Structure 1
Amino acid sequence: MERAVAISSKDYGLDVLVKFNRFREENKYCDFIIKTEEKSMPVHRCVIAAGSEYFDGMLSNDTKERREGIVEIQDADSSTICKCIEFMYTGKASVSDEERGNLLHVSHMLRLHRLYNGIAILLENELNCETFFTTRVIAERYDCSRLVEKMEAKYLDFLLSADGMMESDRVKCKALMVWVNYESERAASLFSMMKHIEFTKVSLSYRRFLIDHETAVSESNKCLKLVMKSILDEEKVEASDTSLDSGIIVLDHNSMKMKILDVKDGTCTEMQDMHEKMRSKISSVVILDEYLYALVEGGSNYRIKYTECNARWEAVAQRNGHWGLAVALNGCIYVTECNYYSKRIERYDPFENQWIFIPNRINAIANTAVAVTEEYLFEFGGKYESSTSALDVQRFDPKSSTWAKAGKLKEQRYLASAVTLDNVIYIFGGFSSAAIYTKNFEMFHPNSNTTELVTLPNFVCVKFVSHALDEMIYLVDGRGEMSPKIHVYNPKTRALTNVMTMDGISMRTCESVLAVTN
């Protein structure tokens, strides 16, 4: 008669997993590779098939991935995939606030049910007014029905408990619109709840967004008047209190000062000091509402209330990319990765102080020119990994989070600059191929997705940034030279009218200057 030996099967199973994980770290006996855009990670087929229904289905059938021994996952970054692999080998996971959405998305995609449910429970346990909007978006996107139901039941408690919390009115406003839009009958109580929101603490861009895009607001005369009054009152205050004139803000590395250039007389006025971290390269600067944001090489980001003389820089959330070009649209900042061939774009929400990846663009490309209209983000040209310059125009719709092709340029170009004026996008400069610069610029018409080529006689400027101000376009030399030149272009006459020089100023990149208007 056989008798059971006193062995802990649970401990034995854990010991085997620990050894498998050590083998993985040593690349020992690995027979499969999980690949992202940035990294290749060796794994064992038996472990990932046991841990994930996604991989079990892939490796149980005659798939290309099974035959070739490699799978490329394009919808996730390597950090998130590493966490999923670590979970499959150890049953453990840790996640920062910024990574929760990405990890929930990937664990849902890979069918890692324990990890997916664990993150959902974590979000549920930490649910409060400050996390309400972000959590609601995550819950609906990844079908966390239990979490959605709990948020519905607790919404009014969150809204009422938000009083006195830092920037709570921003959170309350966004959360309120999510709650109202969930069921059309709730619109009837919108005004009574909006009266509890102090709209001066909500950004102007979001208030305008409420009027233009939230039907529940625009169709209620009381709600509409409430929001419009706050906008008119604030615009009056800004007009009387600010002493900053329209101009071009420059981040001068020679003096480590911000300066504003008066385009009428060419004089520069000193503003605030630059942050010490900006001694490294700045990849882009952009203005959103009352803040100027500076994106630094490596992923660090800072902002300052540039109209306040005594304002100080403050750090905001770290982005995932390394070197990005930023534009502002609908109250958010969008950043395209410049120096890497990628389909990814990140979006920063200042309300939540959070970066997320938006759906992949159509082409994996680098060094595109980017501009926005009131509704869309456009990318022009760029360079493929094959070193071929592009003609493509890609359009992103933030309402539907979708990309579409929007015509083609007349000439191939990368490292160009784009700016919007009177619903026409002007694309200047750049290279058509290695060391061959483009001598013409193009006018893109978003309504028809058509372009026209324009020649400027005797004009040679390869790399710069362009700004539209007072019906003129200013082309600021961005080759890193001392005392850069600014070429002034008149779209009505289609001619260069003037050249200014910023004496004594040093800009390291073309992204270290931007236009500002009151």
Structure 2
Amino acid sequence: MAPKECALHPRSMLDSMNALKDQEEFCDITIVADQDEFKAHKFVLIAASEYFRAMFSNDTKESKTGIVSFPDTPGVIVKQCINFIYSGKADFSLDLITDFIKASDMFCLHNLTDLYVEFLSVNVTMDNVEEMLSVARVYHKELLNNSLQIFFRDNLKEFIELEKLLSLLKDNFLYLLSLVHNWGKAYEMMKWNAVVTWVKEDMGERKDAFVDLFDTIDFNFLPRQFVKDHIIHEQLVSESVDMMVKICDTILDEKSSKLPMVPIERATGIISCKKSTELVYRYSLIEEKWSVLTQLPTGVAKTHLDVTEHRGIIYVTTGNAIFTFNGIEWKKLYESDSGGGYNKCIGCGKYVLMVTGKCVVVYEIGTGKSASIDIKFVTNSHWYNFAVTSTQECIYVIGGEDVKAIRRDAFEINLRTMQCSQISNTSIDVGPTRGCVFGFNGTVYAFDRQSTVIFYNDITKTWQSIRSLAIKYIIGCKVHIADKLYLYGGELRTEVQAVELEKLTVSERDREPTLQDVDMSLSSMSFVK
């Protein structure tokens, strides 16, 4: 016959032990907190708490003397913990609630901590929400997290309008932003406004925290117009290349089905410049017309400027300097002592490169590091009108001319190995194509003077022609993300022609697989100031 259990026995035992404590009978431990003393039984403390078990199981001062001191903990809090050990009961008040939870957690009284959290979860108010955030952040209690999420789903707008967030510590503010996750565009816009408001409340102390706060924003939920009106031109963002790159990387992600393919206006077309007017122009692929975007940087020679758009950001190179335009003003990223000269500007991954007749300057976006790779096969410094393009990990410099003749040279600069090598010369005249080469699906294409498309066969190591295009006098090209090539030139230098790249597909042939998403490093380069 199975033994029967008395349901009243556990309660009766607790009551008996509590009575012994209250009457100070058989007590062998004295607990001192603040100026209060409490009597207790060692075996009861050990049975209830891993904290006391560890204390009394070792050769500690407390184990020898029977006196346990908590000088930094108020007596009322220690008393509450001891009473819970002996009775399983606790009184609840929002006063000192954080200290109560801290003590119960220290004493490993997990059931008491859960009771406090349960009490808090139904008592979150506008006045105590900051304290609740601290508790939830430190103790990771799911019940309190859920209550805070419900609270902010209903009250986030009011919380921001009442400026309650301005007093939040950084860690608590970050925790709040992490709770407001995947709630849709309205909440994501409120998060952004809250971040900017919080930082600008004390720029001296909080500006450095903006990077971490910025990373909590999910740009996939933000409307295109909101990004253009409130984020791109926000000074905290526009002065940081890293942030501008992140915005473009996120919202230009071709895998995203939630947003238009190209949500930033200045990334939806071709970027060019006219030195005589000192202006940068954009050709909108949507409106099919040119418009003035901004003026060129002031105080620089306009003779050898080149401009490109990379990841939604505009860069200008002068042969000895690199500038970036953040939507408001120009900023100098790099400058050398050389006198400048003909150059081409190109973006590749997280780098912007300035290719001159002597070397390739590699500037790492974000870190500000730069390095120089010599084009050692070129001895004539008056090399100009060459064309430049990139694939996943290589830069190609092709054609051009010098003071003596048109060149048919072609060079490959591998950004993984940091080596420059000469590849097969072009069999036809690529001469002064002025930048009209492009990389697509790991293949390098170029144009001759008659606008014939040629490609470099990396198996046969030769250049082969494919077809001719209608547009003449090509002065530039851009591979758009919709796999279309946009050429611009013509007799008036304003004509634009779109070519579907798939129609330029070369004949099938064996080739080595191309590397995807190469994480290039500047660690092996020789850095320059």
The answer to whether the superposition gives a TM-score over 0.5 is: no
For the superposition of Structure 1 and Structure 2, which TM-score range results when normalised by the shorter chain? 0.3 to 0.5
TM-score normalized by structure 2?
Answer: 0.41
Q: Which has the larger radius of gyration?
A: 2
Taking CA–CA contacts closer than 8 Å with sequence separation of 6 or more, which of the two structures ends up with the larger relative contact order? 1
